[in-house]
Structure 1
Amino acid sequence: MSRQSVDGYDEQAKMLVERYEALSFSEVHAWLFPFLPESGGSALDVGAGSGRDAQGLLERGFEVVAVEPSSGMRQEGRKRHPDPAILWIDDALPGLDQLMRRSLSFDFILVSAVWMHVSPEDRPRAFRKLLSLMKPGAVLAMTIRQGPSEPDRPMYEASLSELEKLAKTHGVSILHQSLEPDRLGRSGVSWIHVAMKFPDDGTGALPLLRHVILKSDKSSTYKLGLLRSVARIADSACGMVAIENDERVSIPLGLVGLFWIRLYKPLVSAGLPQTPANRGTRGLGFIGDAWHHLNVSPLDLRPGMRFSGKSAHALHQTIQDAVDTITKMPAHYMTYPGTDNPVFKVRKNRSRRISDLVLLEESYFWSFGEMLVPLPLWNALSRYDAWIEPALQTEWMRLIQSYLDRQGVEKNPREMIQAMQWSDPRRDVSTVREIAQTFLEKQPMFCVWSGKKLTRTTIDIDHCFPWAAWPCDDLWNLLPTKGKVNRNKSDRLPSSRVLFDAAERIMEWWRSAYTSGENALFRKRFYIEAGGTLVIKNDRFPVEKDPALPLEQIFEALSFKRLSLKADQGIEEWDGPG
């Protein structure tokens, strides 16, 4: 959408909102009701305007992301439809760059009165972006204005035949098409109505994953190790990812190296071969002298940790060795079926001088270079990691067992299974509990969920997003609650309304405990962790450069993460303490 069009909507926001709200969602969109998923789910409203349609979808059981590039329209829309289950975002076609960074997918997408604002040359790109946001079997509905353009809001001619061609090119089936009169009675204005269905993931990402995991030639476990490293980043460190272009995302190469080490360290320690000839540490290209001096637990190899002296030197060189091996081996030889084209492209930076202090933060990870991942593959890893990782682990263990058989070595299967597990930190809230207990001695504290006063005997620490579904001990995810409330919430996900009601209490806890506190290390850790696991920023690592980042932005990112967990994992919701 052009800047001129956005400005036109800004200047007339109040008048346009009054016009849109004069008609109900049902009056305008009754035609699409037969195509709405019966069970609700997640919906995307592109060009949400006044929020009328987002509210209508909400009332039909959807949680809604409302995309609107006009600040005036967003402001009016939020006033009229303040429900927390509608998440507003400043974005626009054809790029939808801010939305794409969040790796969300939707059961239903509505693009109403928007398509004619997208220039014809940008429409193929915009259509691809919309398809990439759809779940298998999702429905895309469009209304497209026909007739004269508004002078202050430029529009381009848009036809049904053009849309049919795009749908055919991408294997999308058209469920409904019609031409309807303008509901506001404007002379010469009519509307094309189209509903389309996406038959499957349509991107080729899942067949590609199946090929790499099950069918591609493997002289070692390295391809599986690289794919699983990227999958772990997609699951637990997506905040460090940058959108390279419409086709690829960019992830910091140092982070890939760190997660590679974290995966392989327990396997090597257990004496499990990673190539047919590998015994112990011999024959593995990523293991040099530095590996033997890296005497740390895999649990310590995570963003936010700090190393100094010999440990810093050993870690830095071990990451460099891992990056070198990844670049030369799996990234080079993991290719698309029937071609020599690598799936992952690597851009390495020159080796930097080893420092006496290493802080595992985003700028450090980018200093090694970047890895470019195809966007459809990244989306698949983000959305389906709960199913993809078990397949990776199974094939990895099959390869290890074949190497053991060749070597005539027997290993306890339990040992292999244990070494293969991702080394999530143990569920530990002790640090945050100590902070909370200290605060209780100085000032009143309140349960973030119920608002009731806490005491030393009633206080507990809750994982906002349940540990059972998403193991995360980041400071932003640990919240003071009443023990009774915590037990009632259990392993459920707070609903959008519960989270909204608790917003001020959550941000006040963050402010008091971390961002305004005297402990600079907690402050730094809070921002690094939030910037790593939540999608907050627009460019690379400003969270750690700008510690004054508004807590409202972090809370907004938390809300989007909640929607992602609900949509992708189907976690049961909690409606509050009652």
Structure 2
Amino acid sequence: MTANFYNKNASKLAEMYLSKTFEQVHESWLSYLTPILNKKEARILDIGAGAGRDSQYFAQQGAANNISVTAIEPALMLAELGKKHTQGLNINWLQDSLPDLTAVTRKEISFDLILLSAVWMHIPDAQRARSLRKLANLLKPGGLLVISLRHGESGDERNMYEVSSDALVQMSTKLGLSLLLVTDKKPDVIGREDVSWQTVVLKLPDDGSGAFPFIRHVALNDGKSATHKLALMRVLLRIADGQPGAVIRREDNRVILPVGLVALYWAHQYKDLIDKHQLYQTPNKNSNMGFMKEDGWHKLTHLSSSDYRIGNLFQGDQAIAMHKMLSASVANIKNMPCKFITFPNSAESVFEVSSKSVRAKDSLFLDLTTLNHWGEFSLPEHLWIAFSRYACWIEPVLVSEWTKTMAGYQGNRQYQAPEQQHKLVNALNWLEAKRSTSEVRNRFETLKKQNNSQHNCVWTNKTLNKQYAIDHCMPFARWPNNDLWNLLPSDVTANGQKSDRLPTEQKMRNAKQRITNWWQDAWLADNSIDISSQLNQKRFFAEANIALPDLESSNDSVDDLFEALLLQRERLKEMQQLREW
């Protein structure tokens, strides 16, 4: 009913909204806005953007600092007018709405400022706590949430509910938000006598969730009869940091993942520790763990951890063994760490597994669709956010504690001396850098011979002959990813200059055609007869669609992939404060 009203009266409402300036409407909190507009590359979310007056102000005032604005307006007709009014500005209009905010959440980005202007009164009481939690989860640490509260009847067909600044502040305190400002009620600037407004400004200090103390407790203080708990925490951290596209959905303040993916990463990290380095993972001298079954794990000892990756195809007896190994890993995760990791002073489990039986088959392609077959794994959203935002700080704690834990086990006695423990740290390496470029380098050479043509550097457009490099677009040292889409042919000099820095957004946009051309030529050439080419194409998108944010598991568009890569660039820049190139 409310959306219909805004659509039906879009032109009239747009004219009314635009008749007043941003400063007239938001004068009460302008002093809090100035530092954000002066911040380089700040991100602002405008929910209920209407005809775009506020989004336009943010984009124009922040243009010199490259501020980006995401505008959300559920009423389509009003949003179309808003898009026209703000054309040419750094504003991304999304179709979305509270309490779910599905579209913006899928992007896995956070904001310096979120504005809800004339929105809160449309949200029913039953949805307000959930909506506020969603908004808090979208804030950066130190970010501001500004909510305007309309007092007074709607006077038309719109659904409006009573609002209270006291209730809003009380609700926000439970979420760790701190109060900066509550204004007195002020007259409506448009002149409606029966309408008045208040503004509430809230701030998210630190991560605002209690996630850090909990993670630290599990890593450092929780009892450990084996390394299961540390393993699960590191798996989830790795998925949150490296596979943002793995989220199936969000519901009830929880993030839902394919439990098959959790199991794959579980096996990946244990694989070399046990089979290659012969490191014990329990206090007694028993090398076998619950997920190591004769018909699964022990039939795959010839493989390495690098084989346990998205985009790999297994066939025959090896596929059947992989099926059984994943099923055993799911059961072990469900019955061990998930059962024993509980909330503080509670018997309630933090992590939940809803598993399904999967019949082993003689062909297994590892992608999101396949890994969904084993069921679902859920974790609290605030933990997911902490893992994804602060992975580079949390992981060293987990690795350090895992090292100490292994050194204390009877079977690993030879590593107890401090000077020997670096071997344990090395064994915990997630990926081997040495295998990062050889496959792509071979593909580059093959294309040169097949096509008898020159290939250019994606960054400089220089012709590449004998001397060239294979560059990690997103730097491997900061975000270890060896997926096909992340590896690009580069001039040696340019590769050295780039080093471990992030390419700027503009540099990437300038290189888009060369990057997408390389993807097409190397991995996506249409060859229905060539089985290897078909597999490369499946693998290319399987890797990209799980590693990059805001992509569907079925995506096969390189343009959408490139836009998701820009999002990931932004996430890495924000989360790790990386230097740009």
- Aligned-partner Cα distance in 1 for 2:263–2:72: 36
- Distance of 2:50 and 2:281 partners within structure 1: 55
d(CA) in 2 for partners of 1:562, 1:8: 39
> Deviations for 1:69-116, whole angstroms, at most 9, x for unmatched residues?
344444444444456854443221111123333433333221122212
Q: How far did residue 355 of structure 1 move? A: 1.8
User: Could you say which residue in structure 2 is the equivalent of 1:56?
Assistant: 57
Letter of the structure 2 residue corresponding to residue 120 of structure 1 = D
* Bigger Cα displacement from structure 2, 209-218 vs 464-473: 464-473
Q: Which residue of 2 aligns with 1:433?
A: 444
Write the distance in 2 (CA, Å) between the matches of 1:132 and 1:477: 28
Cα shift at 1:186: 4.6
The equivalent of 1:113 in structure 2 is 118
Change (3 A) 1:502 1:312: same
Aligned equivalent of 1:173? 178
Stretches of structure 1 lacking an aligned partner (at least 5 in a row): 544-548
Q: Deviations over 1:132-160 (max 9, x none)?
A: 22233322111233345274654333232
Residue 537 of structure 1: how far off its partner (Å): 4.6
Counterpart position of 2:473: 464
CA distance in 1 between counterparts of 2:326 and 2:264 reads 6
Q: Which amino acid aligns with 1:433?
A: F
The secondary structure found in structure 2 opposite 1:54 is helix
CA distance in 1, matches of 2:155, 2:455: 55
Secondary structure, counterpart of 1:493 in structure 2: coil
Partner of 2:530: none
In terms of mean alpha carbon deviation, does 28-37 or 476-485 score higher? 476-485
- 1:501 positional shift: 5.0
User: Which is further off, 185-194 or 374-383?
Assistant: 185-194
- Distance verdict in 2 for CA 1:551–1:134, change over 3 Å: same
Determine the C-alpha separation between the residues in 1 that align with 2:85 and 2:219: 49
* Alpha-carbon spacing, 1:5–1:218, altered in 2? closer, same or farther (3 Å): same
Of the candidates 303, 307, 311, which is equivalent to residue 304 of structure 1?
Answer: 311
Residue 93 of structure 1 pairs with residue 98 of structure 2: yes
SS in 2 for 1:155: coil
* Alignment of 1:362 onto 2:362: no
**Given the alignment of the two structures, is residue 33 of structure 1 paired with residue 44 of structure 2, yes or no?**
no
Q: CA deviation at 1:344?
A: 1.0
Residues 148 and 82 of structure 1: CA distance in aligned 2, closer, same or farther (over 3 Å):
same
Amino acid at match of 2:279: L
Counterpart of 1:201 in structure 2 is 207
Question: CA–CA distance in 1 between the matches of 2:109 and 2:538?
Answer: 28
Q: Distance in 2 between matches of 1:435 and 1:5?
A: 60
Shift of 1:455: 5.5
Deviation at 1:434, TM superposition (A): 4.2
**Distance in 2 between residues matched to 1:44 and 1:21, nearest whole Å:** 19
Give 1:418 shift. 0.9
C-alpha spacing 1:298/1:150, structure 2 compared with 1 (3 Å) = farther
AA in 2 matched with 1:467: F
Task: Answer yes or no: is the 8 Å Cα contact 2:358–2:374 preserved in 1.
Answer: yes
For the Cα contact (< 8 Å) 1:211–1:337, is it kept in 2? Answer: no
The correspondence for 1:330, drawn from 326, 331, 337, is 337
**1:139: which partner in 2?**
144
Correspondent of 2:241 among 235, 245, 248: 235
Say yes or no: does 1:553 pair with 2:526.
Answer: no
The reply on whether 1:528 has 2:542 as its aligned counterpart is yes
The Cα of 1:343 is off from its aligned counterpart by: 1.2
Over 3 Å counting, the alpha-carbon distance change for 1:170 and 1:18 in structure 2 is same
Equivalent-residue separation in structure 2 for 1:427 and 1:176 (angstroms): 51
- Is the 1:44–1:65 Cα contact (8 Å) retained in structure 2? yes
Question: Do the aligned residues in 1 keep the contact of 2:107 with 2:550 (CA within 8 Å)?
Answer: no
Q: What SS does structure 1 have at the residue aligned with 2:223? A: coil
Residue type at the aligned position of 1:470: W
Match of 1:474 in 2: 483
Give the superposition deviation at 1:278.
3.0
Q: Matched residues in 2 for 1:231 and 1:393: separation?
A: 12
Task: Find the aligned partners of 2:458 and 2:90 in 1 and give their Cα distance.
Answer: 19
1:416 aligns with 2:424: yes
Under a length normalisation based on structure 2, what TM-score does the superposition of the two structures give? Answer: 0.86
Comparing 476-485 with 158-167, greater Cα deviation is found at 476-485
Which amino acid is 1:46 matched to? I
SS at structure 2 position matched to 1:392? helix
In the alignment, the residues of structure 2 paired with residue 142 and residue 261 of structure 1 have an alpha-carbon distance, to the nearest angstrom, of 46
* Change over 3 Å in CA distance of 1:254–1:192 after alignment to 2: same
Q: Deviations over 1:35-91 (max 9, x none)?
A: 244535333222233444334334434433333334444444444445685444322
Instruction: Provide closer, same or farther for how the CA distance between residues 382 and 146 of structure 1 changes in structure 2, counting only shifts above 3 A.
Output: same
Which stretch shows the higher mean deviation, 37-46 or 464-473? 37-46
SS at match of 2:408: helix
| Deviation (angstroms), 1:323 | 1.8
Q: TM-score, normalised by structure 1?
A: 0.86
Maintained 8 Å contact 1:432/1:475: no
- Selected match of 1:122 from 117, 124, 127: 127
| CA offsets 1:366-387 (integer angstroms, 9 cap, x no match) | 2222211111111111111111
CA distance in 2 between partners of 1:440 and 1:125 (Å): 57
Moved more, 126-135 or 432-441: 432-441
Q: Is the 8 A contact 2:483 2:543 kept in 1?
A: yes
Which has the larger displacement, 82-91 or 132-141?
A: 82-91
> What amino acid does structure 1 have at the position aligned with 2:167?
E
Cα deviation for residue 479 of structure 1 reads 4.3
Contact 1:46 1:110 in 2 (8 A): yes
Take 1:26 and 1:448, find their aligned partners in 2: how far apart are those partners?
Answer: 45
Distance change in 2, residues 1:336/1:120 (3 Å): closer
- Are the equivalent residues in 1 in contact too, given 2:47–2:115 (CA < 8 A)? yes
Structure 2: 5+ residue runs without aligned partners? 528-532
Moved more, 150-159 or 160-169: 150-159
Judge conservation of contact 1:536–1:554 (CA < 8 Å) in 2: no
Q: Which residue of structure 2 aligns with residue 572 of structure 1?
A: 579
* Alignment-derived partner of residue 46 in structure 2: 45
Q: Which residue of 1 aligns with 2:353?
A: 346
For 2:462 and 2:366, the matched residues in 1 are separated by: 37
Residues 85, 496 of structure 1: 8 Å contact kept? no
2:384 aligns to what SS in structure 1? helix
Asked whether the equivalents of residues 241 and 249 of structure 1 are also in contact (C-alpha less than 8 Å), the reply is: yes
Quick one: structure 1 residues 150 and 389, their matched pair in 2 at CA, closer, same or farther if it must change by over 3 Å? farther
Cα distance change, pair 408–499 in 1 and its aligned pair in 2 (3 A): closer
Moved more, 313-322 or 429-438: 429-438
Q: Percent identity?
A: 38
Over 3 Å counting, the alpha-carbon distance change for 1:254 and 1:109 in structure 2 is same
Q: 1:285 to 1:265 in 2, by over 3 A?
A: same
Q: How many residues align?
A: 559
Equivalent AA in structure 2 for residue 418 of structure 1: N
**What aligned pairs does 1:503-542 form with structure 2 within 5 A after superposition?**
503=512, 506-507=515-516, 509-511=518-520, 513-515=522-524, 517-518=526-527, 519-537=533-551, 541-542=553-554
Question: Aligned to 2:224, what secondary structure does the other structure show?
Answer: coil
